[in-house]
Structure 1
Amino acid sequence: MKVALELKDFAKYPFLKESQQFIREYADTIGDFIGTNPGKIALKRATGRVSDALGLQEEKAPDRVPTERFEVKLEVAGYALARVLVSCQDDRSIIDRLCRYEAARAFRYLLDEDDDKKEMVASSLGIHVSGRSVPLFQYVEMVSGMREDRWRLVNREVDSGRVQVNRDEMNELIREQLRVILARQLPLKVPGQVCADLQPYLELITTAYQERLIEDMGEVEEGSFPPCIQAILTALTGGTNITHAGRFALTAFLHNIGMDKNQIVELYCRAPDFDVSKTLYQVEHISGRGGTEYTAPGCASMRTFGLCVNRDEICGKVNHPLNYYRRKKKRSSFTQRSG
């Protein structure tokens, strides 16, 4: 049975082909559209959408789903232009955050949909839903980026080649599938002139994002590095070859706290097997250039890799090197103010 879409569905799920067709009448090209009054309004909404995705909005009112035709068109256009903006920036970490934001946004709406509407959205994403199950081959592909034990196939009920899932799990699978699909689509091939025209908007987003990173993590403070990271860094700067796991942990950690990729590459200069092109490729891959922005391994993984060393009293209170860094920086800052 074909599900009839309402106007508000285009606003809730702007990634649907029906939603994209809905705004085709606006203009023939992006360049033409952004020069119109509706285009300027949509650009403002697109900038706000990216800002929300990057966590730049301190307070945000609950989403109000528009129902009027013009408003719905602006909402869908705002989604489309948000994808254009992050494509012009070509920063994988920003792209990844927008994909997660859009997937989470759709997820919130799906929670209140009936099964027919939910299956229609799932089908548009290539998920072959049947009741409360999905094909085994598709399930394995969909959960490849989901780390919780409950998603492991050994913990699932499989019947006739289909994996059984409950209502809430289906919503989560749709969210993850949408994130993966959006990530594969971006960055878009945007004409250079369009990116040039959008430069003022791009600069606003970039500046605000950099300021937020500094606010969240502050300036890089090596004295607050956890013992495990300190040990890897000491070995590296001492000219000792470190393991692949050690390189990954160090690079991801330094990227997560806001260190520039060129600064990270410079640290590897003392490694006996240093190769600038290979090192730059590896750093960019871990930083998100390859499609996924990686987070430094948690304490449990560091122990598994044999990288957990020189534990101190803070280590006993945290479960992740980044949490150690935040906690020690706060303690250091408090001590300085008190002094």
Structure 2
Amino acid sequence: MVTLDLKDLAKYPFLKESQTYIGAISSSLEHYLESTGGRVAIREAMLMLEHALSFSGKETPSIPEIPPEKEAVMTIIATYPVSRIMVSCAQDRMLIERLVRYQAWVVFAFLQDEEPEIKRFIRRSIGLPETGMDISVIDYIPVASRMAEERWRLVNRVVEKGKVRIRPEEYDEIVRERLRYIMSRNLPLKVPSRICDQVKPAIERIKAEWQKKVLEEFGQVEESAFPPCMQAILGALTGHGHLTHMARFAVTAFLHNIGMDNTRIIELYGSVPNFDLRKTLYQVEHISGRGGTSNEYISPLCATMRTHGICVHPDSICSRVTHPLSYYKLKKRDLNKQKYQKQVKDPDESMKKRVESEGDQSDTNTPDCIPSSTDNKYKDEKST
């Protein structure tokens, strides 16, 4: 039997023991959020979300300090549910994914120097075997699908009697991604509107930070940086081809996620046979969170694209990422680097092109932007 102290509850706030403890500090969530401790928890949740937005997911984050004071520990534990309430009220799937990724990685950081009995307890609490070095294929697949390295692919693992062999040094990673999967699956929460109203100022600030982050990450929409799967789907769109429901969802969510305006997305569907403006408008606004539900969707993972047969013509960048948005960021960064190197190599030619571009009043030379089907000119995309 494992005995958890307050420090353990603060390190692993997702445990039911942690939530039971924090649930006893107030008669209701509404009263707690109005209290001094609740306001502090909201502030700490905002800081956590800011860390989550800037976290790359490529290296282990620094371990947060756990203070000795009981009130401070209670605030740390409360920050976990409050942050989940906030992203649930925000109804932004990408924000949810950033939060759960960061929270799972923080747990991973704590696990590196954790006692064996605590590790076994945590494994059991999230549905993994306490001992042994294998897990069921059913549990393994949703975990491994989020990992980019080739070693996690099922074809590269030892599988016996429906169990996937895991090396001892890999198990903390499995715990991290299993926890991330569970956290993500359980969000968004159904939060009463009165609770959302209490955290609304904090949500608005986080949304503003997120929009700023999206602009920094994606900037102007560049079709040349699209992953092969999205290029193929767009090619089918403009070529009057048939698209599955998943393909339509994937490309619509992708274009919205990188900042394309809904009007421009709808225009792309204009050449599809039996185009219905009313239905297309409804679908696009529903996916982008502007159709009344406020539930904004993120484009599917590469593993999901493969499952539905719409991962086509993968290239060298595809092998390095697990999501089309990650591909887009990497490719766009490479393209910008190439443009910069070309300008440095031939500054006179770059200046000449710039002068010619500025002298063109019609603003027609933006080859990397998707054109509007209702306008003969190319226009710069504005990130939302």
Q: TM-score by structure 2 length?
A: 0.70
CA RMSD of aligned residues (A): 3.9
**Residues 157/219 of structure 1: CA separation in 2 closer, same or farther (3 Å cut):** closer
Q: Distance in 1 between matches of 2:301 and 2:143?
A: 20
Does structure 1 residue 25 correspond to structure 2 residue 24?
Answer: yes
Q: Distance in 1 between matches of 2:256 and 2:174?
A: 28
Counterpart for residue 46 of structure 1: 45
- 8 Å contact 2:287–2:295 — kept in the other structure? yes
Give the 5 Å matches for 1:58-207: 63-140=64-141, 142-146=143-147, 148-158=149-159, 162-207=163-208
Aligned-pair distance for 1:69? 1.5
**Residues 197/149 of structure 1: CA separation in 2 closer, same or farther (3 Å cut):** same
Aligned-pair distance for 1:130? 2.1
**Residues 176/330 of structure 1: CA separation in 2 closer, same or farther (3 Å cut):** same
Aligned-pair distance for 1:7? 1.6
Does structure 1 residue 258 correspond to structure 2 residue 259?
Answer: yes
Counterpart for residue 335 of structure 2: 328
- For each residue in 1:197-235, what CA deviation from the matched residue of structure 2 results, as whole angstroms up to 9, or x when unmatched? 21111110011110121122223355x555966786466
Shifted more, 183-192 versus 161-170: the winner is 161-170
SS at match of 2:164: strand
Counterpart for residue 312 of structure 1: none
Counterpart for residue 294 of structure 1: 300
Counterpart for residue 240 of structure 2: 240
Q: Distance in 2 between matches of 1:227 and 1:75?
A: 40
- For each residue in 1:73-102, what CA deviation from the matched residue of structure 2 results, as whole angstroms up to 9, or x when unmatched? 100111110000001011111111111111
Q: Which runs of 5+ in 1 are unaligned?
A: 309-318
Q: Distance in 2 between matches of 1:250 and 1:156?
A: 32
Give the 5 Å matches for 1:202-281: 202-221=203-222, 225=225, 233=234, 236-237=237-238, 240-241=240-241, 243-244=243-244, 250-251=251-252, 253-261=254-262, 263-275=264-276, 277=279, 281=283
- 8 Å contact 2:254–2:299 — kept in the other structure? no
**Residues 123/285 of structure 1: CA separation in 2 closer, same or farther (3 Å cut):** farther
**Residues 139/214 of structure 1: CA separation in 2 closer, same or farther (3 Å cut):** closer
- For each residue in 1:156-175, what CA deviation from the matched residue of structure 2 results, as whole angstroms up to 9, or x when unmatched? 33456643312232111111
- 8 Å contact 2:266–2:280 — kept in the other structure? no
Counterpart amino acid of 1:325?
Answer: K
Q: Number of residues paired by the alignment?
A: 322
Q: Percent identity?
A: 36
**Residues 153/179 of structure 1: CA separation in 2 closer, same or farther (3 Å cut):** same
Q: Distance in 2 between matches of 1:107 and 1:177?
A: 11
Q: Which runs of 5+ in 2 are unaligned?
A: 316-325, 355-384
